[in-house]
């Protein structure tokens, strides 16, 4: 079987009548097409997830299929050292490491703080100097006359224009003046710029003017020169140029970070290849990520969702809601048929309101990313009382330094973590296996001074209110990706992870009428696990607006040939190509992406998808193609879950402590998860503690440990007649 599959990969199968993708996603038990992507013999894999609060590492041994984990506080000033420290804590042997996969917040933090970004110049057409400021005229606050959009990443004095114009179909309307370009080249070469972005109208249809300008600039300018068509070869000049500018602004800081990380790993004896998690849940090589840092802006959240997709395949769960609560934010997503929701444009460093992205508040980036609803509701989220006497949460976070008051590192403001410590839900002695000291008295003091006294309630009542408030905010995020998109959350299982996710999972499930919760092993490091479950991908796109649906076959054949040559030149010899097309009704502004196959049902499939998404299909309107896309998937080593035999209910006797669960304060059994074995089970209310997280099991819930050592929580639900039955 392996030889057959290798031959299939060598022939670079296209996603046509064989429908490889559907075979993988719709039949998770059939691993045939995944086998060559899973060749790990006696080697170790390392996943590193750098978050805003902690740096997580998981080390997987391919021989024993065992994992080692480590969690250390993130140092914003020296991220590379936190990575090295975490790997050392996990006990990885550099000589045995076969692959390192990495997710980082470097790009995200740089855009939020606007520190360390490249000094960038923009060269565009005459009359379009202010394209970055005019944008789409989206106002982040519609009725606020004084609202401000984020400052452009390229100041007006650093934007330059030249003559020349291409038409939408790629024909040249006005040639570009080479003498003018050379004069401009001399000027920008003296401007002390790190990067120059060349972005012209309609360059997606014909990039000749951009390429000529870049060639002339390179005669005198020694920094990075980026053409918008090389970053995003699709129409809409504002989004394309904005994407190229964001990419350029990130290149220096990200290349320095990756170079420092690579050198530090080499100094420690690590020589294995390093991959970076992309925002869409795939990975890229170090070289590609350095050139296109826009691809990894949302890498951390994507890693967690891909871990959930892998778990869903193993458990055959076709409908899954994901809930990731870390130190700073909480994020909710949806996975159907083992594929997460993916969007193709987002606003980097933009604001959110109640889990929704606020248009016009960030920098548009056109790149695929795992679609999530995010709220400021992490363990470190700060609670406060506004001038009207209402309890509020966030968006400020205590982060890792100084962290919640309970950490004893100088934090004085109350957080969600402090509230969980005060109510007994979070142990003052078990965090990170007991190696991280928790100060309950400091948590009580912070809540008393800043919340309880202002609300005129007890410290415990104030803490309960904080937990109720954060649960409400997080339930709203789940509602956005489910109810508001026409999905019934009652049909979904909830996978809860992140350091704080399992603490609140049952509360959220009850709020959304979800009756099954899965808590994976090491939930606080689950995103790092996801780094070891995905493949390397690369996508290329060409405009197709002037083509008829019936002529797309020739377009894909030519595109496939050129793309395969590029991948071969980069050393990628085994890959699968998947074809897709962006379609819309004539006159619409936005598109739907569908898999392409050479048949006559493309129109019918588009009508069906449009009706599924928007509730109607305009069968009398003409359907037009906008972009033709090919996605290459190349295999990298992966983790493989170890399934153990489920035995009798074996578990160590629990301890107990007073805790507030399901609105009742009671003496609660406390289990140590490391002492629970497959087949172990029990009922709530109880608390299950482990190295990196704590699970609170509410009343009316039962739990059991499955063969993969996941905690499966089930709730007894009420029927319409009022009877209580197990789901």
Residue 220 lies in a domain: yes
The domain that contains 339 carries what CATH number?
A: 3.30.420
Question: What is the C-alpha to C-alpha distance for residues 493 and 318, in angstroms, rounded to an integer?
Answer: 9
Which pLDDT score, from 0 to 100, does residue 224 have?
94
Residue 96 lies in a domain: yes
Q: Where are the alpha helices (DSSP H) in 135-236?
A: 178-189, 208-217, 228-231
The domain that contains 200 carries what CATH number?
A: 3.40.50
The domain that contains 104 carries what CATH number?
A: 3.30.420.40
DSSP state string for 517-564: EEE-SSGGGHHHHHTTS--EEEEEEEE-TTS-GGGHHHHHHHHHHHHH
H or E element in which residue 131 lies = helix 131-134
Sign of CA dihedral 118, 124, 127, 133: negative
Token readout for 10 is 């060598």
DSSP state string for 664-701: EEEEEEEEEGGGB-TT-EEESSEEEE-SS-EEEE-TTE
Residues 234, 126 within the same domain: yes
Total Cβ atoms within 10 A of residue 243: 26
| Residue 19 per-residue DSSP state | -
Helix axes 237-267, 79-90, angle to 10 degrees: 50
Residues 264, 235 within the same domain: no
3-state secondary structure 305-363: HHHHHHHHHHHCCCEEEEEEECCCCEEEEEEECCEECEECCEEECCCEECCEECCCCCE
Rounded to the nearest integer, the mean pLDDT of the chain is: 86
Question: What is the C-alpha to C-alpha distance for residues 251 and 224, in angstroms, rounded to an integer?
Answer: 8
Which pLDDT score, from 0 to 100, does residue 550 have?
79
Question: What is the C-alpha to C-alpha distance for residues 197 and 248, in angstroms, rounded to an integer?
Answer: 7
Question: What is the C-alpha to C-alpha distance for residues 334 and 319, in angstroms, rounded to an integer?
Answer: 8
Residues 414, 293 within the same domain: no
> Residue 447 is part of which domain span?
393-470
Residues whose CB is less than 8 angstroms from the CB of residue 653 and which lie 6 or more positions away in sequence, other chains included: none
Token readout for 499 is 């350091």
408-435: burial string, b at 16+ Cβ within 10 Å, e else: beebebbbbbbbbbbbbbbbbebbbeee
Which residue do the tokens 């009542």 mark?
461
Which residue do the tokens 């299909």 mark?
617
Residues 490, 605 within the same domain: no
SS3 502: helix
Residues 373, 497 within the same domain: yes
The full length of the chain comes to 727
Q: Model-level pTM?
A: 0.86
Residues 623, 557 within the same domain: yes
Could you tell me if 317 and 302 are in contact, meaning their C-beta atoms sit under 8 angstroms apart?
A: no
Could you tell me if 299 and 472 are in contact, meaning their C-beta atoms sit under 8 angstroms apart?
A: no
DSSP state string for 432-466: GGGTS---HHHHHHHHIIIIIHHHTS-HHHHHHHH
Could you tell me if 229 and 236 are in contact, meaning their C-beta atoms sit under 8 angstroms apart?
A: no
Q: What angle do CA 536, 537, 539 make, to 5 degrees?
A: 165
Residue 280 lies in a domain: yes
Could you tell me if 416 and 378 are in contact, meaning their C-beta atoms sit under 8 angstroms apart?
A: yes
How high is the mean pLDDT in each 10-residue block of the chain (727 residues)? Answer: 30 31 29 33 80 84 86 77 84 86 86 88 95 85 82 94 92 93 92 95 94 95 94 92 96 90 89 91 90 91 94 95 91 94 86 75 90 90 94 86 88 95 88 75 96 96 96 93 91 95 96 96 92 90 84 87 82 85 91 86 91 88 92 87 82 88 95 92 94 94 95 75 37
CA-based R_g, the chain, Å: 26
Question: What is the C-alpha to C-alpha distance for residues 148 and 220, in angstroms, rounded to an integer?
Answer: 37
Q: What are phi and psi of 280, to 5 degrees?
A: -95, 5
Residue 29 lies in a domain: no
Question: What is the C-alpha to C-alpha distance for residues 437 and 548, in angstroms, rounded to an integer?
Answer: 66
Residues 592, 603 within the same domain: yes
Q: 384-390 long-range contacts, Cβ below 8 Å, gap at least 24?
A: 384/413, 384/450, 384/451, 385/450, 385/451, 385/454, 385/455, 389/454, 389/455
SS3 159: strand
The domain that contains 588 carries what CATH number?
A: 3.30.1490
Nearest to 136 by CA among 368, 364, 367, 366: 364
Residue 180 lies in a domain: yes
Could you tell me if 241 and 248 are in contact, meaning their C-beta atoms sit under 8 angstroms apart?
A: no
Residues 627, 715 within the same domain: no
Which pLDDT score, from 0 to 100, does residue 721 have?
36
Residues 88, 120 within the same domain: no
Residue 690 lies in a domain: yes
Strand 44-50 versus strand 97-103 pairing type: parallel
Could you tell me if 450 and 384 are in contact, meaning their C-beta atoms sit under 8 angstroms apart?
A: yes
Q: Please, is 721 exposed, middle or buried when counting C-beta atoms within 10 Å of its C-beta (0-12, 13-18, 19+)?
A: exposed
Could you tell me if 18 and 268 are in contact, meaning their C-beta atoms sit under 8 angstroms apart?
A: no
Could you tell me if 654 and 717 are in contact, meaning their C-beta atoms sit under 8 angstroms apart?
A: no
Helix axes 459-481, 501-511, angle to 10 degrees: 70
Question: What is the C-alpha to C-alpha distance for residues 560 and 402, in angstroms, rounded to an integer?
Answer: 52
Question: What is the C-alpha to C-alpha distance for residues 138 and 457, in angstroms, rounded to an integer?
Answer: 43
Residues 514, 549 within the same domain: no
* 548, 344, 169, 553: CA torsion to nearest 10: -30
Total Cβ atoms within 10 A of residue 682: 18
Residues 88, 141 within the same domain: no
Which pLDDT score, from 0 to 100, does residue 689 have?
94
Residues 288, 230 within the same domain: no
Residue 167 lies in a domain: yes
Question: What is the C-alpha to C-alpha distance for residues 281 and 284, in angstroms, rounded to an integer?
Answer: 10
Residue 653 lies in a domain: no
Question: What is the C-alpha to C-alpha distance for residues 118 and 113, in angstroms, rounded to an integer?
Answer: 13
> In total, how many domains does the chain have?
6
- How far lies 279's CA from each of 367, 429, 475, in Å? 8, 36, 24
Could you tell me if 102 and 48 are in contact, meaning their C-beta atoms sit under 8 angstroms apart?
A: yes
Q: Both ends of the chain: CA-CA distance in Å? A: 40
H or E element in which residue 381 lies = strand 381-385
Nearest to 330 by CA among 296, 281, 379: 379
pLDDT in tens, 643-662: 888 887 767 788 999 999 99
């Amino acid at each position: 079987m392996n030889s057959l599959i290798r031959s299939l990969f060598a022939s670079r199968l296209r996603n046509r009548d064989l429908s490889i993708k559907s075979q993988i996603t719709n039949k998770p038990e059939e691993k045939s097409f995944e086998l060559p992507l899973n060749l790990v013999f006696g080697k170790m894999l390392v996943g590193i997830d750098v978050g805003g609060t902690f740096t997580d590492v998981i080390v997987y041994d391919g021989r024993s299929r065992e994992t080692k984990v480590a969690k250390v506080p993130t140092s914003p000033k020296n991220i590379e050292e936190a990575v090295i420290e975490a790997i050392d804590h996990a006990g990885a042997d550099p000589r045995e490491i076969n692959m390192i996969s990495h997710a980082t917040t470097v790009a995200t933090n740089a855009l939020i703080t606007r520190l360390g970004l490249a000094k960038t110049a923009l060269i565009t057409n005459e009359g379009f100097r202010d394209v970055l400021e005019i944008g789409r005229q989206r106002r982040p606050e519609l009725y606020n006359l004084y609202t401000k959009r984020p400052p452009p990443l390229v100041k007006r004095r650093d934007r330059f224009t030249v003559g020349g114009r291409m038409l939408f179909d790629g024909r040249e309307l006005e040639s570009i003046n080479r003498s003018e370009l050379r004069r401009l080249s001399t000027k920008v070469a003296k401007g002390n710029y790190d990067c120059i972005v060349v972005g012209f109208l309609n360059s997606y249809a014909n990039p000749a003017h951009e390429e000529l300008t870049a060639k002339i600039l390179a005669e005198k300018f020694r920094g990075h020169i980026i053409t918008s068509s090389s970053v995003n070869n699709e129409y809409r000049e504002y989004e394309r140029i904005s994407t190229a500018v964001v990419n350029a602004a990130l290149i220096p800081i990200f290349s320095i970070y990756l170079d420092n990380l690579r050198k530090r790993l080499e100094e420690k004896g690590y020589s294995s290849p390093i991959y970076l998690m992309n925002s869409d849940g795939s990975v890229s090589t170090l070289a590609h990520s350095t050139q296109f840092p826009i691809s990894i802006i949302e890498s951390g959240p994507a890693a967690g969702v891909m871990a959930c997709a892998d778990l869903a395949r193993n458990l055959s769960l076709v409908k899954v809601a994901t809930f990731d609560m870390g130190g700073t934010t909480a994020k909710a997503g949806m996975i159907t048929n083992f594929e997460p929701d993916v969007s193709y444009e987002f606003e980097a460093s933009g604001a959110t309101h109640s889990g929704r992205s606020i248009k016009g508040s960030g920098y548009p980036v056109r790149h695929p990313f795992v679609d999530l609803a995010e709220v400021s509701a992490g363990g470190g989220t700060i609670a406060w009382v506004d001038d009207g006497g209402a309890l509020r949460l966030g968006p400020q976070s205590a982060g890792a330094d100084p962290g919640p008051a309970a950490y004893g590192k100088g934090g004085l403001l109350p957080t969600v973590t402090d509230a969980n410590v005060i109510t007994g839900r979070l142990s003052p002695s078990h965090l990170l296996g007991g190696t991280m000291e928790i100060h309950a008295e400091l948590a009580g003091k912070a809540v008393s001074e800043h919340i309880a006294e202002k609300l005129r309630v007890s410290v415990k009542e104030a803490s309960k209110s904080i937990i109720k408030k954060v649960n409400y905010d997080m339930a709203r995020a789940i509602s956005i990706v489910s109810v508001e998109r026409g999905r019934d959350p009652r049909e979904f299982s909830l996978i809860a992870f992140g350091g704080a996710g399992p603490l609140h999972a049952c509360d959220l499930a009850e709020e959304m009428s979800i009756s099954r919760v899965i808590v994976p092993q090491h939930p606080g490091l689950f995103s790092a696990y996801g780094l070891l479950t995905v493949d390397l991908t690369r996508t290329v796109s060409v405009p197709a607006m002037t083509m008829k649906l019936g002529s797309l076959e020739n377009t894909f054949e030519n595109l496939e040939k050129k793309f395969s040559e590029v991948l071969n030149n980069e050393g990628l010899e085994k890959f699968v190509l998947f074809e897709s097309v962006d379609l819309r009704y004539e006159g619409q502004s936005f598109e739907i992406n569908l898999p392409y196959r050479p048949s006559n049902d493309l129109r019918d499939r588009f009508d069906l998808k449009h009706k599924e998404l928007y509730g109607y299909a305009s069968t009398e309107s003409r359907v037009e193609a906008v972009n033709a896309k090919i996605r290459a998937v190349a295999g990298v080593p992966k983790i493989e879950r170890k399934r153990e035999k489920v035995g009798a209910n074996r578990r160590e006797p629990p301890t107990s402590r007073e805790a507030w669960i399901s609105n009742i304060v009671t003496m609660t059994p406390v289990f140590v998860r490391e002492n629970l074995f497959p087949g172990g089970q029990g009922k709530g209310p109880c608390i299950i503690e482990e190295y990196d997280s704590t699970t609170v099991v509410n009343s009316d819930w039962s739990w059991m440990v499955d063969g993969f050592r996941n905690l499966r929580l089930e709730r007894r639900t009420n029927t319409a007649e009022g009877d209580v039955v197990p789901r």
